């Protein structure tokens, strides 16, 4: 059992109006839970922060149940097993779980996936080898269906999903163009992640720069952002372009319909005349591809064909501020919170 006698938790204190603020979260302490039959007590080592959590803070109907006021914020995490009722899950095991924003949690042993810290850093199970990586893999290959010689554009391209999308597109023989915010991120896309071109969406001539980076138009646009990036991409879409819609982070904090003309007629006309394919998806839609994803992505990461970055924040108490920054694009790579030192040697 753990040495400390309390469990720190970050809960939803209020539903945000627009951008989340510190008062929308609360830090509380309580007793460490006790596992029952077939359960394990987990200590969170790494906690994943992801844009989808903003939707769960709202009460509106969505694909996932909202977090209720007073509940622990939900999240995936890499955990250490500190007590177990299952002989197949010994104490000290490294597992992938869904602990939420807290130090300790209880889970059914059968729901946990054991990780081997000797094969890959455990935190990668929250990023390139986890949900974000699989989102990129399944969304691009199943919906985007990139073909050799085509142009693939991805927004939020230095994030864990976007960076994987561009690198997989390159592996499939495509021209990969990334959109990111700021010169450091734009530089990293070509120098570190191997994109063919990168464009800063903060540049005053962003639309012209994007058009110059896509001289043959856009065949696949992997949508993570929406907003002004979509407005710049839209006129460049080729006939039969495919648009996997993964996220719309530019609009997550909106409290009313954006001002301006009604763009729906133009969109519907383009869908018809250009024969566009737009499909929203959630990574769980493609759960049957998990084995293929783990096989391919593990090999690509191991031999350096897919690179990744992690943005690590120390301390559970800093999770709210880090999450608020995530929604503004302040992170560089997969954002994780380290709650304590990993007990495993790589």
Share of the chain above pLDDT 90, in %: 83
Find the length of the chain.
346
Contacts of 49 (CB under 8 A, 6+ apart): 75, 319, 322, 323, 326, 335, 336, 337
Would the pLDDT of 6 be above 70?
Answer: yes
CA distance 343 to 346: 10
Would the pLDDT of 255 be above 90?
Answer: no
CA distance 224 to 162: 8
Q: What is the predicted pLDDT for the residue at 62?
A: 75
As a whole number, the mean pLDDT across the chain is: 93
Share of the chain above pLDDT 70, in %: 96
Structure tokens at 269: 């006309």
Q: What is the mean pLDDT of residues 12-31?
A: 94
Residues 9, 102 contacting (CB under 8 angstroms): yes
Would the pLDDT of 5 be above 90?
Answer: no
Structure tokens at 149: 């010689």
Would the pLDDT of 58 be above 90?
Answer: no
Q: What is the predicted pLDDT for the residue at 10?
A: 97
Domain range annotation of the chain: 6-127+308-338, 131-301
Q: Could you tell me the pTM of the whole model?
A: 0.90
pLDDT tens for residues 133-186? 999 999 999 999 999 999 999 999 999 999 999 999 999 999 999 999 999 999
Could you name the CATH architecture of 6-127+308-338?
A: Alpha-Beta Complex (3.90)
Which ranges of 6-148 would DSSP assign to H, the alpha helix?
A: 53-56, 131-138
Q: Exposed, middle or buried by CB within 10 Å (0-12, 13-18, 19+), for 169?
A: buried
pLDDT tens for residues 91-138? 999 999 999 999 999 999 999 999 999 999 999 999 999 999 999 999
Would the pLDDT of 24 be above 90?
Answer: yes
Q: What is the predicted pLDDT for the residue at 161?
A: 96
Using pLDDT thresholds of 50, 70 and 90, give the confidence band for residue 87: confident
Q: What is the mean pLDDT of residues 194-202?
A: 97
Using pLDDT thresholds of 50, 70 and 90, give the confidence band for residue 261: confident
Structure tokens at 238: 């080729």
Structure tokens at 328: 């503004």
Range list of β-strands (E), 266-314: 277-280, 310-314
Q: What is the predicted pLDDT for the residue at 65?
A: 85
Helices 131-138 & 290-302 angle (0-180, nearest 10): 110
Using pLDDT thresholds of 50, 70 and 90, give the confidence band for residue 254: low
Q: What is the predicted pLDDT for the residue at 2?
A: 58
The fold of 131-301 is Rossmann fold (3.40.50)
Structure tokens at 82: 């500190």
Residues 127, 137 contacting (CB under 8 angstroms): no
């Amino acid at each position: 059992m753990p040495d400390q006698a309390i469990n720190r938790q970050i809960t939803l204190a209020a539903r945000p109006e627009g951008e989340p603020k510190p008062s929308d979260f609360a830090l509380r302490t309580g007793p460490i839970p006790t596992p029952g039959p077939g359960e394990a007590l987990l200590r969170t080592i790494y906690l994943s922060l992801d844009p989808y959590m903003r939707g769960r803070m709202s009460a509106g109907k969505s694909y996932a149940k909202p977090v209720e006021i007073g509940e622990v914020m939900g999240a995936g995490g890499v955990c250490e097993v500190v007590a177990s009722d299952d002989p197949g899950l010994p104490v000290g095991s490294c597992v992938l779980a869904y602990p939420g924003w807290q130090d300790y949690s209880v889970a059914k042993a059968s729901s946990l996936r054991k990780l081997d810290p000797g094969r890959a850093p455990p935190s990668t199970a929250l990023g390139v080898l986890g949900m974000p990586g699989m989102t990129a893999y399944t969304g691009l290959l199943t919906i985007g269906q990139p073909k050799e010689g085509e142009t693939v554009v991805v927004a939020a391209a230095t994030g864990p999903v976007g960076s994987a999308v561009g690198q997989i597109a390159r592996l499939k023989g495509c021209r990969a163009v990334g959109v990111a915010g700021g010169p450091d991120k734009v530089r990293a896309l070509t120098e570190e992640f191997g994109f063919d071109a990168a464009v800063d969406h903060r540049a005053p001539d962003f639309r012209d720069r994007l058009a110059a980076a896509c001289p043959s138009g856009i065949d696949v646009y992997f949508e993570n952002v929406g907003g002004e990036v979509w407005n710049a991409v839209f006129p460049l879409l080729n006939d039969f372009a495919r648009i996997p819609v993964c996220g719309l982070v530019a609009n997550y904090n909106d409290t009313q319909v954006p001002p301006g003309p009604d763009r729906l007629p133009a969109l519907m006309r383009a869908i018809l005349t250009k024969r566009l394919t737009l499909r929203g998806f959630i990574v769980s839609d493609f759960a049957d591809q998990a084995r293929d994803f783990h096989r391919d992505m593990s090999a690509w990461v191991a031999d350096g064909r897919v690179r990744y970055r992690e943005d690590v924040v120390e301390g559970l108490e800093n999770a709210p501020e880090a999450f608020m920054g995530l929604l503004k694009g302040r992170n560089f790579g997969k954002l994780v919170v380290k709650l304590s030192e990993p007990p495993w040697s790589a």
